[in-house]
Chains A and B, each alone.
Chain A
Amino acid sequence: MSTQTQTRGKGFSPGQLVRRPETGSLIGFVVVYVFFAVLGGPVFLGAPGWSSWLNIAAEVGIIALPVGLLMIAGEFDISVGSVVPASAMMTAMLSGHYDLPAFVGIAGGLGVGLLVGLVNGLLVTRTTIPSLIVTIGVMFAVMGLTLGFAVLIRGSTSVSYVPDPLTKALLGQFINGMFNVSILWWMGFVAVFFFFLHVSPLGNWTYAIGGDRESARNAGIPTSQVTIGLFMASGFAAAFVGVAQVMTYQTAQVAGGQAFIFNSIMCVVIGGVVLTGGAGSILGIVLGTMTFAVVNQGIFFASLDPNIGSIIIGALLLTAVLSNDTFRALATSAATKKKAG
């Protein structure tokens, strides 16, 4: 990755541009956006359209970033689907049910995410069980704990909480009545993860772990710590979305959040991250998320049957992975030719 950034700095070449992993994602986004712009008309092109898909993109996008990083490192996190409602429930329980200050509830909610991430990370690094299975197990356990405690303490599956104006403004306000403030948070997350993956040495470590874990460990990379850290990051991001949901909708539900599991994976894969690890970029993940959100929301503006949206997303997913295959083959073959010459 670092070599790619360096070569790009030296000059502009169309060949290199085509071989960049994000090119396919960018083309996909443009095609999808133009398609829905034609069908959806000026409403979709205006503020209502932008706000509707950006709101969706922000929610999924915050989770998709660390999920993508984990995938670059060769791991999965299914448990995000249960962390979103669990942290929302914790926040609403602490601040709504027990009337504690908002920051206690927020800290509690985020703490749930970090704790679940730590458990995931420890189980994955200390045992030989694949992370897909570990996080499915943890997902079920967290789902059970959330439902069990909600019914035990509150006697119902939903808890409401009215945040004070400052907290609401920071985490759950609609700017202009349309744009959710979480879009700004998403941009913040993007900046932080961009720095992490593409600037700091930790990013290279992540690629190395995904490429070959054994070699990475032999090269002195603390693979276990990095993996645990990445799982905690994805737990934290999912918890953040849960907390933001409470502040926005003023209620926490036990169910829900399941959709985030596959949606975040789809955003990441459409964005060009390779499922088996070792390749991918933040820009790609962001483009993948935006593409997903445009299809998801554009379908309503295009006055098509909403179910056609999932057909499009399925087709898009396949096209994305198949073209990634081609792009990667191009990139690797181009590199070998240069060396041989």
Chain B
Amino acid sequence: MDMIASLLRKPASAAVLSLIGVIAFYVLVGGVDLGKMMGAASWVNYAARIGIVAIPIGLLMISGEIDISIGAMIPAGAMTTAIISGHYELPMIFGILGALAIGVIVGTVNGVLAVRTTVPTLIITLATLVAMQGIVLAGSKLLTGSASVPLNAPDWAKTLFGHLLFGGSHQVIIVWWVIFAAVFWFIMHKTKYGNWIFAMGGDKDSARNAGIPVDRLTVLLYILTATSAAFVGMCHATLFNSAQVSGGMNDIFNIIVSVVVGGVLLTGGYGSVAGVFVGTLTFAIVNKGIDFTAIDRNWSNLIIGLMLLFAVALNEFFRRAALSYAPKRKTAETVLKPRVKEA
């Protein structure tokens, strides 16, 4: 019983319950063929696409900030790769580096503005989102004359970033997602940097007073989110042999929903990489798995909305349980701020 209780107090528990709930719903109401859905690639590919960005966004949110400019960075990464290596026919490595460089630049701008001004980061990244959308579109029209650029990636790049695994329809980006998740899990839960990020989200001033380089870490997190989004765009350009300028507005909300379903607190200080991973899986199954059920695809947004509200309510409930549980064992001291380090 104690073990179950301690499991439930982990930030990922609500995400796991949501995942089970969604699958149960699809089995009971949708009559889904589980074997067929589990073998299908569509939802795993989709999960990897948003998952690679969702993990750094989750870290950023744990540190108490938000980044919505990622919506423009995915097409920006794709476009940069295609323009450099497709339109100008430079070696592929320049295209890849160019895409990552765009991510580093935009991330630095976001981060520096976030630490130097008192403007909320939602507004800063809204501004860079809109500006980047314009820059990408205007830039591609100016340089190539069209909004869609073809790209013929060499074999090694295809193998690394844009191949299909085992000759099937699973994309190699899934492997990257798992690697990203493992690396970030290690950083977040096994090194001091993870503790620093939790501390920043809990109370930024105290974290700074404790000697944590809050500003540098914030800029670094912004660079991570923007660069990972550019990375996803680059992988897609390599896979599909072309880059289009698309909105990317949907990605913003989809990624935020995945992170929040994964148990990360929007106001910072609470969450886990495992939770974000499961949250992304849940979101992808709702969004793409619905094709394997008897439920009409048009209802998927309704399910996502209800699942989000349900998962967040569940998260709140568990978090409160976790917080009220701790003082009882110690003294009657009231703990207001969550100081949770997830392992």
Binding site for B on A (CB under 8 A): 78, 123, 127-130, 132-134, 136-145, 147-148, 151-152, 258, 262, 265-266, 269, 275-276, 305, 307-315, 317-318, 321-322, 325
Contact = CB atoms under 8 A, between A and B. Distances in A.
A140 B117 contact: no
Interface stretch (B135-143, B165-173, B181-189, B192-200): B135-143
A321 B299 contact: no
A202 to B, nearest CB: 25
Interface stretch (B26-34, B84-92, B118-126, B325-333): B118-126
Interface string B210-252: 0000000000000000000000000000000000000001000
B134 A269 contact: no
B6 interface: no
14 contacts: A129-B312, A137-B309, A141-B301, A144-B300, A148-B299, A258-B249, A265-B126, A310-B130, A311-B138, A313-B130, A313-B131, A314-B127, A314-B134, A318-B119
A325 B137 contact: no
Given A136-B257, A141-B301, A265-B123, 19 more contacts: A127-B313, A129-B316, A136-B253, A140-B253, A140-B257, A141-B304, A141-B306, A144-B301, A147-B299, A262-B249, A266-B130, A305-B142, A310-B130, A310-B131, A314-B127, A314-B128, A314-B129, A315-B131, A322-B119
B228 to A, nearest CB: 21
Contact of B135 (A275, A311, A318): A311
- Interface centre among A152, A266, A311, A313, by most chain B C-beta atoms within 10 angstroms, is A311
B305 interface: yes
Contact of B304 (A134, A140, A258): A140
Contacts of A123: 309
Chain A interface SS verdict (over half): helix
Contacts of A322: 117, 119
B72 to A, nearest CB: 9
Nearest to B315: A129
A274 B48 CA distance: 36
A310 B134 contact: yes
A230 to B, nearest CB: 19
Contacts of B119: 275, 318, 321-322, 325
Nearest to B312: A129
A130 B256 CA distance: 13
A141 B305 contact: yes
Contacts of A139: 253, 305
Contact of A148 (B113, B123, B302): B302
A259 to B, nearest CB: 8
Contacts of B131: 310-311, 313-315
B2 interface: no
B133 interface: yes
Interface in B137-165: 137-138, 141-142
Given A151-B296, A310-B133, A325 B117 contact: yes
A178 B127 CA distance: 31
Contact of A133 (B128, B303, B308): B308
- Interface centre among A123, A269, A276, A317, by most chain B C-beta atoms within 10 angstroms, is A317
Q: How large is the interface on B (under 10, 10 to 19, 20 to 34, 35 or more residues)?
A: 35 or more
Contacts of B129: 262, 314
B134 A275 contact: no
A262 B129 CA distance: 10
A53 B253 CA distance: 29
Nearest to A275: B120
Contacts of A317: 123, 126-127, 130
A141 B137 CA distance: 31
Contacts of A315: 127, 131
A140 B305 contact: yes
B298 interface: yes
B298 A147 contact: yes
Contacts of A269: 123, 126
Contacts of B253: 78, 136, 139-140
B79 interface: no
List 6 tightest A-B contacts by C-beta distance, closest first: A144-B302, A314-B131, A141-B305, A140-B305, A144-B301, A310-B134
A321 B118 CA distance: 9
Given A134-B309, A318-B124, A325 B134 contact: no
A143 B308 CA distance: 14
B15 interface: no
B174 interface: no
- Interface centre among B117, B126, B316, by most chain A C-beta atoms within 10 angstroms, is B126
A313 B202 CA distance: 34
A269 B305 CA distance: 27
Nearest to A315: B131
B260 interface: yes
Nearest to A329: B118
A318 B305 contact: no
A321 B266 CA distance: 22
A147 B299 CA distance: 7
Contacts of A262: 126, 129-130, 249
Given A132-B266, A136-B308, A305-B138, A275 B122 contact: yes
B282 to A, nearest CB: 14
Contacts of A310: 130-131, 133-134, 137
- Interface centre among A143, A262, A269, A318, by most chain B C-beta atoms within 10 angstroms, is A318
Given A136-B253, A311-B134, A321-B119, A143 B313 contact: no
- Interface centre among B123, B138, B304, by most chain A C-beta atoms within 10 angstroms, is B123
- Interface centre among A127, A136, A145, A305, by most chain B C-beta atoms within 10 angstroms, is A136
B324 interface: no
A305 B301 contact: no
B266 A130 contact: yes
A216 B240 CA distance: 55
